[in-house]
Structures are given as C-alpha cells and as structure tokens.
Structure 1
Amino acid sequence: MTPALDIPVLETERLRLRAPCAADAAAFEAFFTSGRSKFVGGPVEPGRPWRILAAHVGQWALNGFGMWVVTARGDDAALGLVGCWAPGDWPEPELGWQMFEGAEGRGFAFEAAQAARRCAYGRFGWTTAVSYIDPDNARSRRLADRLGCVVEPDAPTPRGEPLLVYRHPAPEALAP
C-alpha cells in the first residue's frame, strides 16, 4: 500500500515552502551537477539529480516529514531546499538547507529554516534537531550560528563522516 503524502505548505513573509515535484527536476539537475553541491555529496553525474529529487519525495512517504522546496511567494521557481532529513543511517533527524544559484546572501535560508524548525518542533513533534555541516562550509556554519545552534563535538555523525554537529535550541527555548 502506498502511503498518502501529507506535505504541509509553510509560508513566511517572503517565502513559500512546498512539496518537491517533477517540475523541480531542472533546478535539481543544475544544482546537484554543479560544484555548488560539493558540501552535500556533489557534484553528481547528469541524470542522478532525478533520483535525488525522488529521494526527497520518498522522505515524506517513509518518515512523514522531509525537505521542502523553497520558493519566493508569488513565484514557483525553486530557490533551494530546507527542512527535515533522516535517512535510515543518520544518528538522528537533521534540519538541513541547500540554496540554489542566485538564492544565497538574501536571508532566504534563515527565514526558511526557522519556519521548518517550527514545523518540526510543532507538527512533527521533534524535541531536538541537529544540522550536520562540513567544517569547510563557512556559510552554513554562519547560518547555524545565526539560528542559535551550538557545536556538540562528541555527537555522532552520519557514517562517521568528519562533520560538525550543530544542536538547535530546544523547542521551549524558542517559545515566544
């Protein structure tokens, strides 16, 4: 039996976070075959981004949560991916982000990550979240700092990879 996908749409002042769909294939291809994807396993060979897109949809089907495609309100073009990620071999669920060409440096990742974290802590019932970040990814590290995360030097990483584990503030620490 195929589970029905219940993917919420999140909106912020400037952004809309929506389900990944086939129309995003070209944006995935452009990002994941370029050097911009070096911190998330890329670049990959042409054609493989379609399978990456399918894996993102699969996270929603298998886990009941996943990453959203970030768009500007009023424009459905993909700006990046932000949200929840938990492959079977991850030590714990991750809040992650990947911004596509032209979308960095405008505060979109910060705005989208805050919305995704609120949903993870609220609707999905998470009590904690981490972000696994390559030590050389300065932009991502700055974003984690801006989100109030702290490095946990002894926390396990996926497959023992040499990543930094940034712990997000607990839900009660973020309550207004």
Structure 2
Amino acid sequence: MSFTELSVPRLETERLVLRSWQEQDFECLKTIFCHEETARYVGGARSEHMVWRQMATIIGHWHMRGFTVFAVERKEDGKTIGYAGPWYPLGWPEPEIGYALIPEAQGKGYAFEAVQAALRYVYDALGWETAISVIVRENEGSRSLAKRLGAHHVGDINLPERPPAEIWRHLSPTEHRKRLSSGELLDEV
C-alpha cells in the first residue's frame, strides 16, 4: 500500500501549529463530533465510523480543492485541540474559514489565533479575495469571534442536513493586513 504525501503547509502562531492531519488526530475529531454538546454547531453528533469518514473527507478535500482545514495543535504540549482553515464542500455558497475546538480549548483565544493564521494563509498563499464563515444562529461563541475578527453578518443560509445558519463575511485581505499591522487584531485572552 502506498500513500501520496501531500504538500500541506505548516503554519505557526505564538501558541499553535496548524498542520496536516495524522491518524492520531482522530481522537480530537471524536471529541468534537461524537458528542451532541460539542457537535451541535457542526452538523450534530455522529458515530465513530462517521467521524472516521469525516476525517477522510477532510484529508480528501485537499486533493479535490487544493486546501482543507488544518489540524490545530497546541505548542505547549503537542495536543491536537481542533481544526481551523479553508473549507469549501458541496453546497456551500463560497469558500469559508471553518473551525471547531475541543471543549477544554475553548475560551482561551485559540480559535481567534487559529482563524487569523488561516485568513493570512488563504489571502497570501491561495490568493482569496474574500472569505466567509457559516455560523449556526445559536452559536454565540462563533458569532462573537467573527465580530472580534472584524467580520459582519451578510445573510442567512439553509444548508442540507444543517440547522439554519448565518453567513459572516471576513475583512478583505487589505483590511485584514491593515488591522493586523496596526495591532487591532490582537487577542485579549
């Protein structure tokens, strides 16, 4: 059996590494997707078998689109704490920046840090001129994060097998870079 090695970039922030997926990252995805409490904003709880397929979908997305969400690893202990990055599955209105973290990593500014790195990547490396995040209406944490990142609500969407959601448009590449250089997008952890 052979495996085609993908040339997935490795992004680093002060506290995180955004990297390609490894088999041991399955445990992180199980924590996110197998429990209703953590999966309610990402399509609902799934069986372990379906989470395995989700992981294969994430990895396969790189082959089909040339990008995918990164595994997010905490530098201090090497633990995979979630995912963040570019995502564009069938039925989505346009490419988005998706993210989810395990419960123990939430509320510590990791999502803010990871999404900023993902935005820099899609703007600088992939040449995107815009990015959205699709956020379930009841997900106050993600709505708050989008606002802190400078995104604004531009409409609503109903996607197959998902609860009603909102589309949040992120800053343009120029505005994002301007706010980063001015220090406006510094996280208050």
TM-score w.r.t. length of structure 2: 0.86
Identity among equivalent pairs (%): 37
Moved over 3 A (4+): 155-161
Report if the CA contact (8 A) 2:136-2:163 is conserved: no
Q: 1:22 Cα deviation (Å)?
A: 0.8
Count of residue pairs brought into register by the alignment: 174
2:15 corresponds in structure 1 to: 14
Q: Which residue number in structure 1 is paired with residue 187 of structure 2?
A: none
- What is the 5 A alignment of 1:104-115? 104-115=106-117
- Equivalent of 1:52 in 51, 54, 57: 54
Deviation at 1:74, TM superposition (A): 4.6
SS in 2 for 1:79: strand
Q: Which consecutive unaligned segments of at least 5 residues does structure 1 have?
A: none
- Give the 3-state SS of the residue equivalent to 1:40 in structure 2: coil
CA RMSD, Structure 1 to Structure 2 (Å): 1.8
Question: What CA distance in whole angstroms lies between the structure 1 residues aligned with 2:4 and 2:89?
Answer: 18
TM-score, normalised to structure 1, is 0.92
Any unmatched runs of 5+ in structure 2? 182-189
Q: 1:54 to 1:40 in 2, by over 3 A?
A: same
Whether the 8 Å contact between 1:90 and 1:157 is mirrored in structure 2 is no
CA distance in 2, matches of 1:115, 1:126: 14
Write the mapping of 1:113-132 to structure 2, written as runs, cut at 5 A. 113-132=115-134
Query: Which one of the candidate residues 136, 140, 146 is aligned to 1:144?
Result: 146
Quote the Cα distance in structure 2 between the aligned partners of 1:156 and 1:28.
25
Is contact 1:59-1:65 (8 Å) kept?
yes
